[in-house]
Amino acid sequence: MRTMRNGCGGKWSRRRRGSRKGERAHIRAGSGASGSLLPVALLLAAALSACVPALKVREARTALPATYAGTADSTDAADLPWRQFHADPALRALIDSALANNQELNIMAQEIEAAKAEVRARKGEYLPGVGVAVGAGVEKVGAYTRNGAVEEQLEVKEHTAFPEPLSDLIIGARASWELDIWKKLRNAKKAAALRYLGTVEGRNFMVTNLVAEIAGSYYELMALDNQLGILRDNIAIQEDALGIVRLEKQAAKATELAVRRFEAEVLKNRSKLFDIQQRITETENRINFLVGRYPGPVARASGTFAALTADSLPTGVPAQLLERRTDIRRAALELEAAKLDVRSAKAAFYPSLDITAGVGLNAFDPALLLEAPASLLYGVAGDLVAPLVNRNAIKAAYIGASAKQMQAVYGYEQTVLNAYVEVLNRLSDIRNLRRSYALQQQQVQALSSSITISNNLFRSARADYMEVLLTQRDALESRFELVETHKRQLNARVELYRALGGGWK
């Protein structure tokens, strides 16, 4: 804290930002200081620049393969807005509700507001600060002090008595400004602005994941509904078979063992109904949680599940990921902000130039306070502050900022690599699931026809009950697996759309 008394008129106090006792050397001048101190600042900066630690920094690698393992398209599915990609009206309604009410998105929106406020705060640091001050004081000096002796001599000489006690009234404005010579403050403001944009991209990435998660849960709910219907149909078939076995036992063509085995199979599948119903309830609750509402029924068109397309998507070229993927865009912004942080930290090695000024009215009598220009006071001062000894804190901040920049470089490269691998995995998943689904369809057709054949053979005593049971069990499992594979196809398509960067527009 530095106090200027009435050499400039009145008392004016100012804190010197960034200065520490014993660590920085200052040069001070009065009015007109900024013009005379600037060349000195440049000379000091040239002398101190040799003391800045040399750090190894490299640029991030952004080169990507030309294709996805030989696959490249002229169009990119990520350009499609999610409303066009998801045609189901019920699914669209769920996504719309989630984008408006999802708590995690709302939390992220507040983070964006906080980042925006940080930008405003950083901007204010390199603009002049102006404050208004009103002060009052009273002072009684001792007669046997220096000031008291001076007042007594003046009273004798000038025949004028000083008021006892002496009041001190002041009204004025004061300003302070750190000239951002080395762009330390402006770079900090730009870094904050980039991080603000990064939070916006972070929200877009969250939207992408939310859209994909709701779509995946919606398809899972449709698949469970279809599996529930398949199980009920299979139970009806098994109950018919059980009735036949009971008739065969009455006719002495079957044993009690066959009846019990069929009863056990029917009971086992009935118990599975409750397991599927529980999974349906949990999936509905998960969707409602994502939508931001309390549990309740979820509207869906489960009857259209088997007809939903599971074709692959046009992928464009890998280089488009740099623009389409919001997590890559956020990582790029974080990297640029880290570079600016290094520049700001480096600027702390150089001298800073502070200018302070004040203007106001000062008098010992309220009646005389407005008697300008006699009561007018003003002052201007400039400080040139440069680090001199014990600069470990500045060096540590600079080295730390450089390390964080390298961390941002590796984080960016990791994000790009992860995006490319995700697309490759989803493309491979879609191809393999398509082949598996075609074979499973043939398996279901073969086992569905074998149920009728096994029942006819059992009635004519040409097949035992175990063959009928195993055929029905295999047919049920194959139909379940077919529904599960189709769900995985749809989810793989959704995940490919997300991996390409779609879903946030």
Total of domains in the chain: 1
Query: Model confidence at 48, in pLDDT bands (50, 70, 90)?
Result: low
Ranges 15-24, 68-77, 480-489: which has the least confidence? 15-24
Task: Fill in the DSSP letter of residue 71.
Answer: B
Residue 393 pLDDT > 80 = yes
Whole-number percent of the chain with pLDDT over 90: 49
Give Cα 154 to chain centroid, integer Å. 71
pLDDT-based confidence at residue 17 (cuts at 50, 70, 90): very low
Q: Which residues span the domain enclosing 369?
A: 1-59+129-179+350-389
- Residues facing residue 2 across a β-bridge: 14
pLDDT at 19: 39
Whether residue 468 contacts residue 46, with contact meaning beta carbons closer than 8 Å, is answered with no
pLDDT digits (tens, 9 = 90+) for 109-146: 999 999 999 898 888 887 888 899 888 888 888 888 88
pLDDT, mean of residues 99-114: 93
In a domain, 3, yes or no: yes
Residue 200 lies in a domain: no
pLDDT of 437 reads 95
Q: Check residues 367 and 218 and name the one with the higher pLDDT.
A: 218
Question: How confident is residue 7, by pLDDT bands cut at 50, 70 and 90?
Answer: very low
User: pLDDT tier at 35 (50, 70, 90 boundaries)?
Assistant: low
Give the pLDDT score at 21: 37
Angle (CA) 150-154-159 rounded to 5° is: 155
Domain assignment present for residue 382? The answer is: yes
Q: Is residue 444 part of a domain?
A: no
- pLDDT value, residue 297: 94
Q: Provide the pLDDT for residue 18.
A: 38
Q: Which two tokens stand for residue 325?
A: 């993927």
Q: Are β-strands 352-363 and 166-179 bridged in parallel, bridged antiparallel, or unpaired?
A: antiparallel
Q: Between 93 and 468, where is the model more confident?
A: 93
Q: What is the pLDDT of residue 8?
A: 36
In this predicted structure, which of 118-122, 213-217, 234-238, 457-461 has the lowest mean pLDDT?
A: 457-461
Integer Cα distance of 482 and 306 in angstroms:
10
pLDDT tens sequence across 174-188: 998 888 888 888 999
What pLDDT shows up at residue 375? 87
CB 315 within 8 A of CB 65: no
The tens digit of pLDDT for each residue in 424-439 reads: 999 999 999 999 999 9
pLDDT at 10 over 60: no
Task: For the chain, give the mean pLDDT.
Answer: 85
Q: Are 285 and 247 in contact (CB under 8 A)?
A: no
Whether residue 384 is contained in a domain is answered as yes
Judged on CB neighbours under 10 Å (0-12, 13-18, 19+), 75 is exposed
Cα–Cα distances (Å) from 63 to 34, 42, 111, 411, 415, in that order, read 47, 40, 32, 15, 13
Taking the model in full, what pTM does it have? 0.81
Q: Does residue 9 fall inside a structural domain?
A: yes
Compute CA distances 462 → 248, 256, 456, whole Å.
13, 18, 9
Q: What share of the chain is helix, strand, coil (3-state, %, to 5)?
A: 65, 15, 25
What pLDDT is attached to residue 31?
44
For residue 4, give the amino acid letter. Answer: M
Q: Is residue 150 part of a domain?
A: yes
Q: Is 43 contained in some domain? A: yes
Only one residue has tokens 């939508």, namely 291
pLDDT tens readout for residues 78-88 = 899 999 999 99
- Model confidence at 154, pLDDT cuts 50, 70, 90, reads confident
- Look at 290-304, 369-383, 403-417 and tell me which has the smallest mean pLDDT: 369-383
pLDDT tens-digit series, residues 361-386: 998 888 888 888 888 998 998 887 77
pLDDT at 13: 39
Residue 33's CATH number:
2.20.200.10
Q: What is the 3-state secondary structure (H, E, C) of 438-494?
A: HHHHHHHHHHHHHHHHHHHHHHCCCCCHHHHHHHHHHHHHHHHHHHHHHHHHHHHHH
